[in-house]
Amino acid sequence: MIRRVSLLALVGTVAALAVVASAVARPAHVASAQAASALSCKSGVSIGMLAPITGDAASIGGDQLHWAEFYFNQWNKVKGHVKIHLVQGDTQLDPSKASTVAQSFASNGKIVGVIGPAGSDEVQAVAPILRKAGLAFASGSATRVSLTNGAWKGYFFRDVPNDGVQGPTAANYMFTNLGVKSGTSVMVVDDQESYSTGLADIVGQNLTGKGVHVDRESISQKDTDFSSLVAKVTSATKVVYLPFQLASQAQLFAQQLQAQGKTAVAFGSDGTFDSSKFTVNGSYISFFAPDVTTLPADAKVVASFHKAFPGATSPFGAPNYVLAQMYSNAVTTACKDGKITRAELRKDFAKVSLKSSILGTPIRFTANGDLAAAKFHIFKIVNGKYQTVQ
């Protein structure tokens, strides 16, 4: 009897909830108090960071986090600078977790800007949330072309060039300099993630259009053995294109190519640009800046980075140092009147222009948030070192 009554009460509550929900679920629901009221700069501001700090992409995300932390630590030591506190958010390269963390940033009144997220899928997932909250978000590694088609103008920025620049550059170089002609063949291997398949598609289509036979293969980011795939490389294959996110996989692939005596040359994309990991002689890589760890102007910075964060680094790390630098400049500009709002920071951030950066090039944004004057260089590995060839 009591059970029946409580069951009825349960059903009744559900019905009542349904009524309430239908009232609440109207889209015209007033947004909660997220409209940023001006924050005082005196006690410092917070910048959020979205990165895959744990999980399969931890080697990339942890590195991005450390470079940004490193910059802000140096910045905060100088007297007179507005103190900037970095709030980290672990997305595990998963768009649904990224949107939960982005929501926490949006609801955190102290956060005035966001660095990240790292993956292009994540950018699409968090963009509506961050846009609604009025936050600028700048990625150091999301390279899908469609992200800067204007939908999030003024909100989304990136200081790395997109695939639309890298793909054709790589394909053209292969065609003109590496003996890839109509009738020869190229193997394109992707790692089943969207960064990789995007680039692989662009390069593959470009080469197919020129009459080259393209052999599309895949590996997984968790693989460590490619000897089975390398066995499929024929003597007619001139180049094996490896748009991998992990430089260590490119190294392994190239090593196994050489071990099996194949004549094909390995060609990596910007994810594989890591002179501590990818060092097989004779390979090529495309990247949008010179190697940070070899530029003499950066030697001091790199040395103190390694002192603070021992261990190797990845190519997607240094762009986040630059983003931290740009945010610091923008915060200084916005804090001139002692107060800062998210809208103000957005506008100032879009206007930041660095004459020089550790990436070796000046940095500024186009109207749509892309990196201005982006250009890809081609490097060849000679004696374990990266030499610019284009």
Q: Using the rule CB under 8 A, which residue among 14, 77, 78, 383 binds other proteins?
A: 14
Smallest separation, CB 72 to other proteins (Å): 14
DSSP conformation class of 113: E
Smallest separation, CB 357 to other proteins (Å): 23
Q: Which stretch binds other proteins (CB under 8 A): 3-11, 110-118, 169-177, 360-368?
A: 3-11
Residue among 149 and 227 whose Cβ is closer to other proteins: 227
Which positions from 266 through 285 interact with other proteins, judged by CB under 8 A?
277
Residues β-bridged to residue 380: 284, 387
Which positions from 188 through 247 interact with other proteins, judged by CB under 8 A?
189, 192-194, 196-198, 216-220, 222, 224-225, 227-229, 231-232, 246
> 58 and 52 in contact (C-beta within 8 Å)?
yes
Smallest separation, CB 347 to other proteins (Å): 24
Is residue 348 close enough to count as binding other proteins by CB under 8 A? Answer: no
Phi, then psi, of 48 in degrees rounded to 5:
-90, 150
Q: Using the rule CB under 8 A, which residue among 44, 46, 81, 95 binds other proteins?
A: 95
Distances (CA, A) of 278 to 23, 185, 271, 318, 326: 58, 24, 10, 17, 29
Q: In angstroms, rounded to a whole number, what is the distance separating the alpha carbons of residues 238 and 174?
A: 9
Q: In angstroms, rounded to a whole number, what is the distance separating the alpha carbons of residues 272 and 269?
A: 6
Is residue 44 close enough to count as binding other proteins by CB under 8 A? Answer: no
Place of tokens 């063949």: 185
Is residue 55 close enough to count as binding other proteins by CB under 8 A? Answer: yes
Is residue 9 close enough to count as binding other proteins by CB under 8 A? Answer: yes
Residue among 233 and 301 whose Cβ is closer to other proteins: 233
Report how many helices (DSSP H) and strands (DSSP E) the chain contains, helices first.
11, 16
Is residue 25 close enough to count as binding other proteins by CB under 8 A? Answer: yes
Residue among 166 and 256 whose Cβ is closer to other proteins: 256
Classify residue 265 as exposed, middle or buried by CB count within 10 Å of its CB (0-12, 13-18, 19+): buried
Residue among 246 and 326 whose Cβ is closer to other proteins: 246
Which positions from 58 through 87 interact with other proteins, judged by CB under 8 A?
58-59, 61-63, 87
Distances (CA, A) of 277 to 11, 66, 252, 387: 61, 19, 9, 15
Classify residue 291 as exposed, middle or buried by CB count within 10 Å of its CB (0-12, 13-18, 19+): buried
Residue among 20 and 367 whose Cβ is closer to other proteins: 20
Which positions from 309 through 328 interact with other proteins, judged by CB under 8 A?
309-314
Smallest separation, CB 7 to other proteins (Å): 5
Cα-trace Rg, the chain? 24
Q: Is 377 helix (H, G, I), strand (E, B) or coil?
A: strand
Q: In angstroms, rounded to a whole number, what is the distance separating the alpha carbons of residues 147 and 301?
A: 31
Q: Is 309 helix (H, G, I), strand (E, B) or coil?
A: coil
Q: Which stretch binds other proteins (CB under 8 A): 154-162, 253-261, 327-335, 365-373?
A: 253-261
Is residue 33 close enough to count as binding other proteins by CB under 8 A? Answer: yes
Residue among 218 and 390 whose Cβ is closer to other proteins: 218
Residue among 67 and 365 whose Cβ is closer to other proteins: 67
Report the half-sphere exposure of 74 (CA within 13 A, side-chain side): 15
Smallest separation, CB 348 to other proteins (Å): 26
Classify residue 286 as exposed, middle or buried by CB count within 10 Å of its CB (0-12, 13-18, 19+): buried
Q: In angstroms, rounded to a whole number, what is the distance separating the alpha carbons of residues 138 and 152?
A: 11
Which positions from 119 through 158 interact with other proteins, judged by CB under 8 A?
121, 124-125, 128
Smallest separation, CB 350 to other proteins (Å): 26
> 82 and 331 in contact (C-beta within 8 Å)?
yes
Residues in the interface with other proteins (CB under 8 A) total 92
Q: Using the rule CB under 8 A, which residue among 37, 96, 177, 182 binds other proteins?
A: 96
